[in-house]
Chain A
Amino acid sequence: MDLLRFITCGSVDDGKSTLIGRLLYDSDSVSLDVLAALENRPTVHGTVDLALLTDGLRAEREQGITIDVAYKYFTTPRRKFIITDAPGHVQYTRNMVTGASTADLAIVLVDARQGVVEQTRRHSLIASLVGIRHFVLAVNKMDLVGNEQAVFDQIVADYAAVADQLKLPQVTAIPISALLGDNIVTRSKNLSWYTGPSLLEHLESVPAFEEATMGEPRFQVQFVIRPQTDDYPDYRGYAGRIQSGEYRRGDRVYILPSGQESVIEAIEVDQREVESAAAPQAVVLRLTDDVDISRGDSIVPVGSQIHVAKEVEATICWMDERPLWPGRKLLVQHHSAVVKAVVAAITYKVNVRTFGRAATESAQLNDIVGIRLKTAAPLVVDSYQHNRATGAFILVDELSGDTLAAGMVEAMQNSFVPEPLGFTI
Chain B
Amino acid sequence: MSTPHFDYLDRLEAEAIHILREVAGQFERPALLFSGGKDSIVLTRLAEKAFRPGRFPFPLVHVDTGHNFPEVLQFRDELAAQLGEKLIVRSVEDTIKRQRLREPGGKFPSRNPLQTYTLLETIEEFQFDACIGGARRDEEKARAKERIFSVRDEFGQWDPKRQRPELWNVYNGRIQRGENVRVFPISNWTELDVWRYIQRENIALPSIYFGHPRTCVVLPSGQLLGLNEHLRLDETDEIVERQVRFRTVGDSTCTAAVESDAATIDDIIEDLLSAKVSERGATRLDDNISEAGMEDRKRNGYF
Contacts and interface: CB of A to CB of B under 8 A. Distances in A.
Contacts of B25: 222-223, 295, 336
Contact of A333 (B13, B170, B176, B288): B170
A98 B291 CA distance: 26
B192 A222 contact: no
Interface stretch (B75-83, B261-269, B273-281): B273-281
A226 B169 CA distance: 25
Contact of B172 (A3, A392, A394): A394
Contact of A403 (B169, B172, B192): B172
Interface string A1-12: 111000000000
B299 to A, nearest CB: 10
A98 B167 contact: yes
Name the interface size band of chain B.
Answer: 35 or more
B8 A282 contact: no
B22 A226 contact: no
A235 B53 contact: yes
A34 interface: yes
A222 B167 contact: no
B193 to A, nearest CB: 8
A232 B53 CA distance: 8
Given A73-B137, A246-B1, A280-B14, A101 B168 contact: yes
B8 A56 contact: no
A396 B175 CA distance: 11
B18 A222 contact: yes
Contacts of A59: 160-161
A95 interface: yes
Contact of B190 (A55, A73, A101, A223): A73
B55 interface: yes
A288 interface: no
Contacts of B275: 31
Contacts of B190: 73, 75
Contacts of B166: 98, 403
A156 B291 CA distance: 40
Interface in A71-97: 71-73, 75, 80, 82, 94-95, 97
A193 B51 CA distance: 57
A131 to B, nearest CB: 10
B142 A239 contact: no
Contact of B295 (A56, A97, A280, A396): A56
A267 B167 CA distance: 28
B276 A406 contact: no
B282 A240 contact: no
B137 A2 contact: no
A231 interface: yes
A225 B170 contact: no
Nearest to B288: A37
A389 B15 CA distance: 14
Nearest to A32: B276
B185 to A, nearest CB: 11
B202 to A, nearest CB: 13
Given A67-B161, A280-B15, A33 B167 contact: no
B167 A270 contact: no
Contact of A281 (B6, B141, B165): B6
Contacts of B12: 3
A235 B254 CA distance: 47
A57 B296 CA distance: 10
A227 B55 contact: yes
Contacts of A222: 18, 21-22, 24-25
A68 B7 CA distance: 29
Interface in A159-174: none
Nearest to B188: A82
A213 interface: yes
A146 interface: no
A239 B131 CA distance: 21
Given A401-B175, A401-B176, A80 B8 contact: yes
Contacts of A361: none
B86 interface: no
Nearest to A85: B144
Nearest to A271: B52
A280 B52 contact: no
Nearest to B136: A73
Contacts of B54: 225-227, 237
Given A57-B145, A241-B17, A282-B49, A394 B167 contact: yes
Q: Which of A98, A319, A403 has the most CB of B within 10 A?
A: A403
Given A58-B295, A270-B49, A403 B167 contact: yes
A37 B289 CA distance: 12
A337 B281 CA distance: 42
B165 A56 contact: no
A281 B188 contact: no
A368 to B, nearest CB: 14
A344 interface: no
The 4 closest A-B pairs by CB, nearest first: A33-B281, A56-B141, A401-B174, A282-B17
12 contacts: A3-B12, A57-B142, A57-B145, A57-B160, A67-B160, A67-B161, A94-B165, A225-B53, A240-B21, A280-B11, A400-B176, A403-B165
Interface of A: 1-3, 31-34, 37, 53-59, 61, 67-73, 75, 80, 82, 94-95, 97-98, 101-102, 209, 213-214, 222-223, 225-227, 229, 231-232, 235, 237, 239-241, 246, 269-271, 278, 280-282, 295, 319, 331, 333-336, 388-389, 392-394, 396, 399-403, 406
Given A67-B161, A213-B3, 7 more contacts: A3-B8, A56-B143, A57-B160, A61-B291, A69-B145, A98-B167, A240-B21
